[in-house]
């Protein structure tokens, strides 16, 4: 199937709910007036006190200070089977796996914003968070509607260029899902767990959460 047909097919689930989509757009617009948002934060690091989790903690503190409702999913401490491309879900139905992804499913469809907090592993996002993202496939038709998205990224190298593959992946993914980037905190130069605490980035994450 070529990409255009693929996109059409995936959006077909959403088009069946055109009225829902219009309502969602109206709702998203009213959020600009300061309404409480439902936010799903998905983290990808196995280091509980690590750098990306520190950014996630601070983002959540800011978002909760602004009155938003946050659900958090720590991929590295959950069981999420990788997608096996069986297509039983038809991109908008029941996944054959009944595991911790149920939490994501229950929180992402109605979420106004989705936050990805990940370390860089070999120039990509961590395998733990990627497994969760690939399982979006089973709810593709329900989540392809306007939402905000945020990227929180940590890595050891000091060059901004190293972040480009992950930023490009994130931008492509949210464009495909009809989501809009609401901000990124990209923290280079942090290697050891918690070293990000000595930088300006946790405060940036807090401010982003508060002003989402």
Ligand X SMILES: Cc1cc2nc3c(=O)[nH]c(=O)nc-3n(C[C@H](O)[C@H](O)[C@H](O)COP(=O)(O)O)c2cc1C
User: Does the protein bind ligand X through residue 77 (CB under 6 A)?
Assistant: no
What is the footprint of ligand X within residues 36-55 (CB under 6 A)? Answer: 45, 47, 50-53
Residue closest to ligand X (Cβ): 50
Among 23, 30, 35, 123, binds ligand X (CB under 6 A): 123
Among 20, 84, 180, 191, binds ligand X (CB under 6 A): 191
Rank residues 37 and 129 by Cβ distance to ligand X and give the closer one: 129
User: Does the protein bind ligand X through residue 119 (CB under 6 A)?
Assistant: yes
Rank residues 18 and 122 by Cβ distance to ligand X and give the closer one: 122
Rank residues 52 and 107 by Cβ distance to ligand X and give the closer one: 52
Query: x/- string (CB under 6 A) for ligand X, residues 142-181?
Result: ------------xxxx----x-------------------
Among 32, 98, 122, 161, binds ligand X (CB under 6 A): 122
Q: Is 211 exposed, middle or buried (0-12, 13-18, 19+ CB in 10 A)?
A: exposed
Taking the complex as a whole, how short is the minimal distance between the CB of residue 188 and ligand X, in angstroms? 7
Rank residues 11 and 131 by Cβ distance to ligand X and give the closer one: 131
User: Does the protein bind ligand X through residue 59 (CB under 6 A)?
Assistant: no
> What is the DSSP secondary-structure string of the chain?
--HHHHHHHHHHHHHTTHHHHHHHHHHHHHHTTT---EEEEEE--S-TTSHHHHHHHHHHHHHHHTT-EEEEEEGGGS--PPP----TTTTSS--S--STHHHHHHHHSS-SEEEEEEE-BTTB--HHHHHHHHGGGGGHHHH-S-EEEEEEEE-S---GGGGHHHHHHHHHHHHHTTEEEEEEEEE-S--STTGGGGSSHHHHHHHHHHT-
Rank residues 45 and 144 by Cβ distance to ligand X and give the closer one: 45
* Residues near 28 by beta carbon (within 8 Å), at least 6 away in sequence: 112, 146, 147
Binding interface with ligand X (CB under 6 A): 45, 47, 50-53, 119-123, 154-157, 162, 190-191, 193
């Amino acid at each position: 199937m070529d990409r255009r047909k693929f996109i059409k097919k995936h959006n077909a689930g959403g088009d069946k709910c055109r009225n829902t989509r219009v309502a969602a757009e109206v709702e998203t617009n009213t959020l600009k007036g300061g309404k409480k948002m439902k936010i799903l934060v998905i983290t990808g690091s196995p280091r509980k006190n690590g750098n990306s989790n520190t950014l996630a903690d601070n983002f959540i503190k800011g978002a909760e200070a602004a009155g938003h409702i946050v659900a958090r999913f720590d991929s590295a401490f959950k069981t999420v089977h990788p997608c096996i491309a069986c297509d039983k879900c038809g991109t908008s139905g029941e996944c054959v796996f009944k595991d911790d992804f149920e939490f994501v499913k229950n929180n992402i469809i109605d979420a106004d914003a989705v936050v990805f907090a990940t370390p860089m592993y070999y120039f990509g996002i961590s395998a733990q968070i990627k497994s969760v993202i690939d399982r979006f496939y089973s709810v593709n038709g329900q989540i392809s509607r306007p939402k905000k998205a945020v990227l929180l990224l940590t890595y050891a190298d000091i060059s901004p260029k190293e972040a480009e593959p992950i930023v490009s992946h994130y931008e492509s993914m949210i464009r495909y899902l009809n989501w809009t980037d609401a901000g990124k905190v990209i923290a280079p130069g942090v290697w050891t767990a918690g070293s990000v605490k000595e930088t300006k980035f946790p405060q940036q994450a807090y401010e982003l959460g508060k002003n989402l």
